[in-house]
């Protein structure tokens, strides 16, 4: 038996070949055998004209799901805009409202207008309601399609109501229990409802939700709550407690992955979102600004070397030692930074004082060890024990700076409301470079040359 993954790959290749050969009818009917996520891969690999042709050849239900599963961004918006407005509206109409709103958000306003005009008024109003919310908030993630029952029903009445409402709702795992004014009373997982005594009242079964969010809540917090309380879905409620929508675990997995990709890339100095499939020119555009800034800061730090040129002239070994001290400061600073940014993500920056002190302590210990190492190396190369002492002190001091900066900078940026993963790295490296050069060359000037 060949594995399902191989089968999927083979089917994808055949569909691509059929689209290439212009046999859209056959491509469309083979496409129906793929999961929308796998079909989205095929669509993403095609040229725009072929994308439009394939989507038009597929059943609208599948074409819309494939569109929803494509990577978010400009390319997807362009594709939707390239379809006839009637076709675009048909696909949008097929989707769950959260996916539909996301897609619409990727269009320019005039293109949005064209599709909204073709949609039924009710659908258009619903979409406009969701499109108000920022993409990265709970409102931007939520769907208003959900199953809600009143607390006064019995379990068997509720089950009948769930069956009635469920026809309109995709994938629900949780039933929301509401009062007559649609204020949220609590939640009931489907398995709990099925297991309940049919005559018991829902009010007596319902559990207060472990967590709810407001529509303006940041998506990162939504992810944190769903992960913490193992929720299949979380209710979005208005400030006065009215149920507005739900967010399910699958949306949140996407958010967690996207946020963490962002964290990794930002920490590495890719500030703007570089999408993995970007072309080289786009990649240059997203990376160059940070590198240019980095060239400035690295040059500024290295200019300490220019100031102390005469010291280096007299002790050339310092030209060998300076980059090592700076590099080790950068390495330790990056370690502190990575740990601290994770702590801020997980715990918030409230306990900042504690972790700054801890990083300073770690810097003291590690700096002592590394200081002895580099001192031995310096004496081996140069023979002067005093140079050994100088370089030991410089390494030690710079490791403490690295620990302090690696924890203090991101905690401070976070409190100022700036994402610490964006700017921390450049601050920390500039500081460790500057201090490393100053400590080494300043101490050498004093202790070796009596400057």
Binding to a second copy (CB under 8 A): which residues in 222-251?
226-232, 249-250
Within 22-61, the residues that bind a second copy by CB under 8 A are: 35, 37
Query: Which span sits near a second copy by CB under 8 A: 22-30, 121-129, 137-145, 258-266?
Result: 258-266
Please, which residue, 89 or 222, has the CB nearer to a second copy?
A: 222
Report if residue 347 touches a second copy, rule: CB under 8 A.
yes
Find out whether 156 and 199 touch, Cβ atoms under 8 Å: yes
Find out whether 433 and 401 touch, Cβ atoms under 8 Å: no
Element (H, E) at 213: strand 212-213
Within 273-312, the residues that bind a second copy by CB under 8 A are: 274, 276, 280, 283-284, 287-288, 290-292, 294-295, 298-299, 302-303, 305-306, 309, 312
SS3 276: coil
C-alpha closest to that of 307 among 447, 440, 450: 440
C-alpha closest to that of 193 among 248, 151, 229: 151
Report if residue 327 touches a second copy, rule: CB under 8 A.
yes
Query: Which span sits near a second copy by CB under 8 A: 49-57, 87-95, 159-167, 177-185?
Result: 159-167
Cα 436 to Cα 428: distance, rounded to the nearest angstrom: 12
CB atoms within 10 A of CB 320: 13
Query: Which span sits near a second copy by CB under 8 A: 96-104, 110-118, 156-164, 407-415?
Result: 156-164
- 243 phi and psi, to 5 degrees? -70, 120
Q: Are strands 212-213 and 233-237 parallel, antiparallel or unpaired?
A: parallel
- 52 phi and psi, to 5 degrees? -60, -45
Partner residues linked to 150 by β-bridges: 178
Q: Are strands 233-237 and 243-248 parallel, antiparallel or unpaired?
A: antiparallel
Cα 319 to Cα 297: distance, rounded to the nearest angstrom: 19
Residues 108, 216, 257, 273: which binds a second copy (CB under 8 A)? 257
CA distances from 321 to 81, 208, 376, 440, 449 (A): 58, 63, 12, 8, 17
Please, which residue, 41 or 106, has the CB nearer to a second copy?
A: 41
CB of 204 to a second copy, least distance (A): 18
Binding mask 67-106 for a second copy (x = CB under 8 A): ----------------------------------------
Query: Which span sits near a second copy by CB under 8 A: 24-32, 78-86, 136-144, 361-369?
Result: 361-369
Please, which residue, 338 or 435, has the CB nearer to a second copy?
A: 338
Report if residue 162 touches a second copy, rule: CB under 8 A.
yes
Query: Which span sits near a second copy by CB under 8 A: 24-32, 55-63, 178-186, 314-322?
Result: 314-322
Within 202-221, the residues that bind a second copy by CB under 8 A are: 210-212
Residues 20, 273, 313, 383: which binds a second copy (CB under 8 A)? 313
């Amino acid at each position: 038996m060949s594995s399902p993954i191989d089968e999927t790959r083979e089917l994808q290749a055949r569909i691509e070949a059929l689209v290439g050969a212009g046999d859209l009818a056959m491509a469309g009917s083979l496409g129906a055998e793929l999961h929308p996520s796998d079909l989205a891969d095929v669509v993403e690999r095609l040229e725009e004209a072929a994308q439009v042709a394939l989507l038009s050849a597929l059943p609208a239900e599948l074409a819309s799901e494939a569109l929803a599963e494509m990577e978010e961004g400009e390319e997807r918006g362009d594709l939707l805009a390239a379809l006839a407005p009637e076709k675009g509206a048909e696909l949008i109409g097929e989707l769950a409202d959260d996916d539909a709103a996301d897609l619409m958000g990727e269009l320019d306003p005039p293109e949005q207008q064209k599709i909204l005009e073709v949609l039924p008024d009710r659908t258009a109003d619903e979409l406009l309601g969701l499109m108000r919310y920022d993409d990265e908030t709970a409102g931007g993630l939520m769907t208003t399609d959900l199953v809600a029952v009143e607390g006064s029903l019995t379990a068997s009445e509720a089950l009948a109501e769930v069956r009635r409402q469920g026809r309109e709702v995709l994938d629900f795992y949780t039933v929301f229990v509401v009062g007559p004014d649609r204020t949220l009373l609590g939640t009931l997982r489907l398995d709990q409802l099925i297991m309940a005594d049919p005559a018991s009242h829902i009010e007596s079964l319902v559990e207060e939700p472990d967590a709810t969010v407001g529509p303006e809540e940041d998506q990162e917090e939504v992810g944190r709550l769903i992960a913490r309380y193992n929720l299949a879905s979380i209710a979005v409620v208005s400030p006065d407690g009215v149920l507005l929508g739900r967010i399910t675990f699958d949306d949140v997995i996407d958010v967690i992955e996207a946020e963490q990709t962002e964290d990794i890339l930002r920490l590495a100095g890719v500030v703007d979102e570089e999408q993995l499939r970007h072309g080289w020119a786009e990649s240059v555009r997203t990376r160059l600004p940070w590198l240019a800034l980095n060239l400035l800061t690295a040059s500024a730090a290295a200019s300490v070397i220019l100031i102390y040129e005469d010291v280096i002239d007299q002790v050339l070994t310092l030209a060998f030692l300076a980059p090592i001290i700076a590099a080790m400061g950068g390495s330790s600073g990056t370690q502190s930074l990575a740990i601290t940014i994770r702590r801020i993500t997980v715990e918030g920056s409230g306990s900042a004082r504690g972790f700054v002190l801890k990083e300073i302590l770690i810097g003291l210990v590690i700096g002592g060890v590394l200081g002895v190492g580099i001192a031995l190396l310096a004496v081996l190369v140069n023979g002067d024990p005093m140079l050994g002492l100088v370089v030991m002190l410089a390494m030690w001091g710079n490791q403490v700076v690295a620990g302090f900066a690696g924890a203090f900078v991101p905690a401070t940026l976070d409190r100022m409301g700036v994402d610490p993963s964006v700017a921390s790295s450049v601050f920390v490296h500039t500081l460790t470079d500057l201090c490393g050069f100053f400590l080494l060359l300043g101490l050498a000037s004093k202790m070796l040359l009596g400057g």
